[in-house]
């Protein structure tokens, strides 16, 4: 393959990934309550997959064994949960009494049935893996320059979502920018259906912003001022989402940004940069003091009273449900089918919980020990790759590793009390972050002739 052809080929792959990830971020923020949007994301993924294969994207990943292991580990359990089993086997599984009694009402208790108590829901969950796993593979196939362009796109999307969110605040969550019915009213939601997903997008966008332009900021005072101002915009947007956990995660995102720029701060012109950082900090504190008494800020502060917090009740009922289906689980995507019988009478409200509000508890309920082991193995592969990537000498590879570390830290910690992996937008960002460390950029983008 000649050099001009290889360059054009890599550029096509880069722009395909660029457009695909941005489309997923725009359309994939609604979760299962927005089935048409999820369907659009899956159809988009199917079209993008065809284009990616036509551009020989998988050829870039022939030797990327850890990547394929991660993809297989994530998808294998929901796939196995769809295999029909003989009645004597599935009826002996924990938690299947209600299913057996329900089927007996229509004379179907002796039919073959898979591990999942609601196979259609599990099939939906399996199909929902396509968009983020494709984002993982496409990002892994990019060259180092292509990955930097993708970082710039993610940062740009986060800034755009702040602008959209500001308009939502101005319109009190009504009008054309109210993308999702039932989304958090009066908050800076951007393209996401709830404040928790939006704050994750903004914090991930912050690490992308620093990773994409920190080297240029180190060489240009104007760029340094611009990046600093944009970072403050993202931080202000993160605060105005009103997500309590998200606000608590801001120091973790900033820590990875500091990890990335610390070499710049210790350079020979660090005194100048420290003065600029001090000035930016003073401006930021001044803006915070001026905004302290505004209504949006006061509404955010009121949320830290934790009045009417419902998560402990859901966690308690979810733990009980886990005991009923342990160690096999009820099936990926079946939470709403199995949480009702597990709810205590005193915890029953007018609305059935649609999530466990803890990604880890929900995974244990739906996938049991098999899914826990599969995800733990995949997480270990990504963690080992991340540790190697963070030891990179510098430059773009270091920036991409810091972005991955920041993304995975924010999403993993937020998963303790929320469900970011159930958003296709956030899951796609996690896929990009994992790709950047699973396949070193020096190996990506090189086709054999």
Residue-wise DSSP of 64-79: -HHHHHHHHHHHHHHH
Predicted confidence at residue 11, as pLDDT, reads 86
Can you tell me whether residue 445 is helix, strand or coil? coil
Tell me which residue of 311, 330, 331 sits closest to 321, measured CA to CA. Answer: 330
Predicted confidence at residue 53, as pLDDT, reads 94
Q: Contact, 328 vs 115, CB < 8 A?
A: yes
- State the Cα–Cα distance between residues 375 and 377, nearest whole angstrom: 5
- State the Cα–Cα distance between residues 397 and 211, nearest whole angstrom: 10
Predicted confidence at residue 31, as pLDDT, reads 81
Q: Contact, 31 vs 14, CB < 8 A?
A: no
Please give the C-alpha separations between residue 380 and each of 252, 253, 418, 435, in angstroms, as whole numbers.
20, 21, 22, 14
Return the bridge partners of 85, or none: 113
Which phi and psi (to 5°) does residue 330 adopt? -95, -15
Per-residue pLDDT tens listing for the chain (449 residues): 455 555 577 788 899 999 999 999 999 988 888 889 999 999 999 999 999 999 888 888 888 899 999 999 999 999 999 999 999 999 999 999 999 999 999 988 899 999 999 999 999 999 999 999 999 999 999 989 999 999 999 999 999 999 999 888 888 767 777 888 766 667 788 999 889 999 999 999 999 999 999 888 878 888 888 998 999 999 999 998 989 999 999 999 999 999 888 755 554 445 445 555 555 555 555 555 555 455 555 555 555 555 667 788 899 999 999 999 999 999 999 999 999 888 876 666 666 778 899 999 999 999 999 999 999 999 999 999 999 999 876 788 889 999 999 999 999 999 999 999 999 999 999 999 999 999 987 455 444 43
Predicted confidence at residue 220, as pLDDT, reads 81
- State the Cα–Cα distance between residues 28 and 30, nearest whole angstrom: 6
The token duo for 149 is: 């362009």
327 prior amide bond cis, ω within 30: yes
Q: How many CB atoms lie within 10 A of CB 333?
A: 25
Is the Cα dihedral 327, 330, 332, 333 positive or negative?
negative
Predicted confidence at residue 6, as pLDDT, reads 53
Predicted confidence at residue 350, as pLDDT, reads 64
User: Domain map of the chain by residue range?
Assistant: 3-79+122-307+357-438
Q: Contact, 403 vs 213, CB < 8 A?
A: no
């Amino acid at each position: 393959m000649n050099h001009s052809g290889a360059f054009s080929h890599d550029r096509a792959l880069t722009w395909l990934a660029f457009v695909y990830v941005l489309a997923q971020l725009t359309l994939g923020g609604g979760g299962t309550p927005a089935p048409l949007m999820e369907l659009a994301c899956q159809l988009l993924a199917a079209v993008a997959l065809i284009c990616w294969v036509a551009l020989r994207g998988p050829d870039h990943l022939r030797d990327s064994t850890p990547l394929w292991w991660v993809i297989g580990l994530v998808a294998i359990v929901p796939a196995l949960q769809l295999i029909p089993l003989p009645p004597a086997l599935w009826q002996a599984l924990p938690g299947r009494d209600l299913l057996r009694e329900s089927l007996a009402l229509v004379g179907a208790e002796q039919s073959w049935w898979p591990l999942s108590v609601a196979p259609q829901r599990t099939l939906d969950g399996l199909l929902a893996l396509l968009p983020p796993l494709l984002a993982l593979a496409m990002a892994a196939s990019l060259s180092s320059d292509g990955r930097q362009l993708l970082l710039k796109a993610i940062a740009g999307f986060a800034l755009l979502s702040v602008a959209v969110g500001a308009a939502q605040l101005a319109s009190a969550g009504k009008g054309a920018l109210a993308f999702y019915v039932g989304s958090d009213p009066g908050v800076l939601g951007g393209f996401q259906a709830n404040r928790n997903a939006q704050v994750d997008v903004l914090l991930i966008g912050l690490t992308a912003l620093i990773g994409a332009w920190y080297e240029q900021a180190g060489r240009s005072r104007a760029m340094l001022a611009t990046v600093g101002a944009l970072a403050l915009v993202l931080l202000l947007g993160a605060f105005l989402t009103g997500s309590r956990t998200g606000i608590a995660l801001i120091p973790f995102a900033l820590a990875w940004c500091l990890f990335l720029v610390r070499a710049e701060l210790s350079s020979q012109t660090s005194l100048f940069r420290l003065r600029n950082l001090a000035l930016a900090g003073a401006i930021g504190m001044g803006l915070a003091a001026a905004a302290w008494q505004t209504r949006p800020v006061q509404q955010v502060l009121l949320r830290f009273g934790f009045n009417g917090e419902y998560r402990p009740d859901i966690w308690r009922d979810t733990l009980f449900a886990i005991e009923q289906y342990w160690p096999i689980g009820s099936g990926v995507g079946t939470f709403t089918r199995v949480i009702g019988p597990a709810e205590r009478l005193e915890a029953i409200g007018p609305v059935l919980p649609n999530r466990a509000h803890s990604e880890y508890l929900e995974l244990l309920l739906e996938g049991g020990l098999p899914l826990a082991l599969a995800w733990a193995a995949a997480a270990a592969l990504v963690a080992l790759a991340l540790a190697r990537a963070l030891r990179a000498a510098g430059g773009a590879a270091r920036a991409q590793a810091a972005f991955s570390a920041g993304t995975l830290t924010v999403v993993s910690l937020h998963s303790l009390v929320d469900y970011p992996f159930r958003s296709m937008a956030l899951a796609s960002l996690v896929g990009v972050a994992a790709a950047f460390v699973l396949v070193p950029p020096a190996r990506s983008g090189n086709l054999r002739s």
